[in-house]
Amino acid sequence: MALDLDRLSPVEQAMSRRRRWRWIIILLAAALLIWWLVFVNQYVVAYDKPIDHFRHGSIGSETANGLPILVFKALPVLYPDRMGPGGWRRFGLLYEGDDELPVGFSRRVVTGVERVWLNCSVCHVGTYRLPGQTEEHYVYGAPSNNLRLYDLIRFFIDVGRDPGFSADALVNAIDSDAVGGNLNFVERAVYRYIVFPRVQGAFLVLGRQLAFVERQEDWGPGRVDTFNPYKAIQFNFPMGPDSISEAALNGAADYPSIWMQRPREGINLHWDGNNSSVAERNLSAALGAGVTPVTVDRAAIRRVEDWMWELPAPVFPAADRIDGGKARRGEGLFTAYCAGCHGMKRDGAYDYSRRRYPGLGQVVPLPAIATDPGRWASYTPAFAGAQNMLFAGYPWRFQHFRKTNGYVGQPLDGIWARSPYLHNGSVPTLRDLLEPAADRPAVWFRGGDMLDLDRVGYRSDPGAAGAFRYDTSRPGNSHKGHEGAAYGTALSASDKDALVEYMKTL
Ligand code: HEC
Ligand code: HEC
């Protein structure tokens, strides 16, 4: 009988079993690490400059709502008829220089896929051009005058329902030269069997949640219905015809400016004055951009907040077009008629003192201000109650939202850059606002960015503007209100001109 010299002794056997276990554990740990790095950990681009963070920094909206960047790039290839050669520009999105993404889009790698979605600047960057010039100037923190969010939402909803939107079509578009996705075999399978059904499913869900937008007036460029989509998406409020009045259904609001937030702390803001806390207004805005209470990146929002805190209001871009004498006369009129509700400049700086200007940040009841009731009606006590439950269990839980009885007198710093005027953007220029409603433009065109340096605001004739026809007789679009002796509409034409001249300097 030959000796089996290769046979392991019992001690050696035990040691080899241990080695095997050690290897299995090491391999498992490595797999776990890779899984965590690829599928759990999220990656964001960090920007040095606060302004770049504002333009493209992620606030966490991609996690729940983001589109894979290749899908974002493929959609203009798939829908040239809807978007035209400018792609996403069709919806008023702005590309600065040769940026890969429009202003207001950020990126984040989630579950191993690079996704893009919205941040604050998509709604809070304005543009203007001076008469006779083609150069487009960007004003960061100004209301967006370009963004057509209504069309953008309708587009996503339509894509979800389009029978031609298929996995094949998507993968081919991603592989097209225009997108240059160069998918390999595995990636193709991922896009076909995982990404496509998810994207289509998300658009279909959006279509169900926001079915009511089809019954709304088109918000047009530079406006959004602030709270109705919020009701539907965050809280599943019933939005059918039996559940909401026509007035409340059409709550479209103009975008506001967001500069100089420090002096706005404690002032009741949002158009109806429903919240006095800057931090809550910011966090609530982030929900509008698509973050959820779980995915919100509070540090990123805090960084935007810090930047907005002392962001100066922009200065009127044509100093040579301000008549000093006229503006001084206007200052006297403004002090007498307007400052009580809006504050004004003192010693060269805007004065936001609510002691000196007791109406600043105070709600003027709807029957007195008499502007369009839609935005006011869309914000209901039940919704305020629901909002105050958001972030329940956290120190930053909402506590300040309340239903008010009208619209609020806000600071008018940088007002030249905030056209069109009133909460629903129904009056094109400051000079028009000083006329009684019967003499304000009844049908005009918005979406352009050519400034009218005399009447102060964007030009609203069909030629100069972006050609969205704004009809003030439609629900939510009324240009009435803010009228009568107290609001300056009974003054002489030359007094009104002087007031406008003064407002150029705010
Ligand atoms: C989808 C467009 C949109 C996005 C994105 C958005 N906002 Fe706004 N924001 C608005 C609108 C519209 C209002 C006015 C709401 C109202 O009263 O109806 C507003 C109001 C505000 C206000 C209050 C301004 C005032 O004077 O009443 C602040 C501050 C603000 N947003 C900051 C932010 C910040 C910070 C972000 C990013 C975290 C952000 N917004 C993202 C549309 C947007
Ligand atoms: C009693 C308070 C009160 C007085 C007085 C008053 N306003 Fe207003 N103002 C308001 C309120 C409230 C709003 C918001 C109305 C809305 O958006 O529906 C407003 C809105 C405005 C806006 C639009 C702001 C924007 O961002 O679109 C301008 C401009 C303005 N007022 C200028 C004036 C001028 C100029 C005077 C004086 C001739 C004046 N106001 C007098 C309360 C007042």
Q: What distances in angstroms separate CA 386 from CA 45, 61, 138, 211, one per listed residue?
A: 34, 21, 36, 21
The minimum-distance atom of ligand 2 relative to the CA of 338 is 37
Distance (Å) from CA 102 to ligand 1 centroid: 18
**What pLDDT, on a 0 to 100 scale, did the predictor assign at position 466?**
66
Task: Using alpha carbons, select from 386, 384, 348, 375 the residue that is nearest to residue 505.
Answer: 348
**What pLDDT, on a 0 to 100 scale, did the predictor assign at position 8?**
81
Which residues lie below 8 Å from residue 437, measured CB to CB, with a gap of 6+? 479, 480, 481, 483
**What pLDDT, on a 0 to 100 scale, did the predictor assign at position 224?**
95
**What pLDDT, on a 0 to 100 scale, did the predictor assign at position 336?**
96
**What pLDDT, on a 0 to 100 scale, did the predictor assign at position 284?**
84
CA pair distance 408, 418, nearest whole angstrom: 16
CA pair distance 489, 486, nearest whole angstrom: 8
Residue type, 327: A
CA pair distance 28, 380, nearest whole angstrom: 54
- Residue whose Cα lies nearest atom 35 of ligand 1: it is 282
The minimum-distance atom of ligand 1 relative to the CA of 224 is 12
CA pair distance 310, 258, nearest whole angstrom: 10
**What pLDDT, on a 0 to 100 scale, did the predictor assign at position 3?**
65
Residue type, 292: T
Which residues lie below 8 Å from residue 161, measured CB to CB, with a gap of 6+? 203, 204, 207
**What pLDDT, on a 0 to 100 scale, did the predictor assign at position 110?**
84
CA pair distance 376, 406, nearest whole angstrom: 7
Residue located via tokens 């019933």: 238
Q: CB-based burial of residue 34 (10 Å sphere; 0-12 exposed, 13-18 middle, 19+ buried)?
A: exposed
287 lines ligand 1 (CB under 6 A): no
The minimum-distance atom of ligand 1 relative to the CA of 254 is 12
Distance (Å) from CA 149 to ligand 2 centroid: 26
Q: What distances in angstroms separate CA 118 from CA 30, 58, 146, 362, one per listed residue?
A: 35, 8, 15, 32
- pLDDT per residue of the chain (506 residues) written in tens, 0 to 9: 566 767 888 888 888 888 899 999 999 999 999 888 877 777 788 899 999 999 999 988 888 888 999 999 999 999 999 999 999 999 999 999 888 999 999 998 888 888 999 999 999 999 999 998 989 999 999 999 999 999 999 999 999 999 999 999 999 999 999 899 889 999 999 999 999 999 999 999 999 999 999 999 999 999 999 999 988 888 889 898 888 888 899 999 999 999 999 999 888 889 999 888 888 888 888 887 778 877 888 889 899 999 999 999 999 999 999 999 999 999 999 999 999 999 999 988 999 999 999 999 999 999 999 999 999 999 999 888 888 888 777 877 888 888 999 999 999 999 999 999 999 999 999 999 999 999 999 999 999 899 999 999 999 988 766 689 999 999 999 999 999 999 999 999 999 999 999 999 99
Ligand with an atom nearest the CA of residue 148: 1
Q: What distances in angstroms separate CA 258 from CA 142, 227, 271, one per listed residue?
A: 7, 18, 13
Q: Which of 270, 278, 383 to probe ligand 1 with, by most ligand atoms within 8 A of CB? A: 270
CA pair distance 308, 43, nearest whole angstrom: 25
The minimum-distance atom of ligand 2 relative to the CA of 486 is 5
Distance (Å) from CA 143 to ligand 1 centroid: 9
The number of residues making up the chain comes to: 506
124 lines ligand 1 (CB under 6 A): yes
Say if residues 107 and 114 touch (Cβ distance below 8 Å).
yes
Could you give the dihedral angle defined by the CA atoms of residues 404, 405, 411 and 417, in that order, rounded to the nearest 10 degrees? 100
Ligand with an atom nearest the CA of residue 254: 1
Ligand with an atom nearest the CA of residue 149: 1
**What pLDDT, on a 0 to 100 scale, did the predictor assign at position 298?**
86
Ligand with an atom nearest the CA of residue 415: 2
414 lines ligand 1 (CB under 6 A): no
Say if residues 59 and 296 touch (Cβ distance below 8 Å).
yes
Say if residues 125 and 142 touch (Cβ distance below 8 Å).
yes
CA pair distance 67, 51, nearest whole angstrom: 24
Count of CA atoms in the C-beta half-sphere (13 A) of 251 = 22
Ligand with an atom nearest the CA of residue 233: 1
Report the pocket of ligand 2 as residue ranges, CB < 6 Å: 271, 337-338, 340-342, 359, 364, 369, 371, 407-409, 412, 415, 418, 421-423, 430, 433, 482, 486-488, 499
**What pLDDT, on a 0 to 100 scale, did the predictor assign at position 62?**
83
Say if residues 102 and 233 touch (Cβ distance below 8 Å).
no
CA pair distance 214, 216, nearest whole angstrom: 5
Distance (Å) from CA 369 to ligand 2 centroid: 9
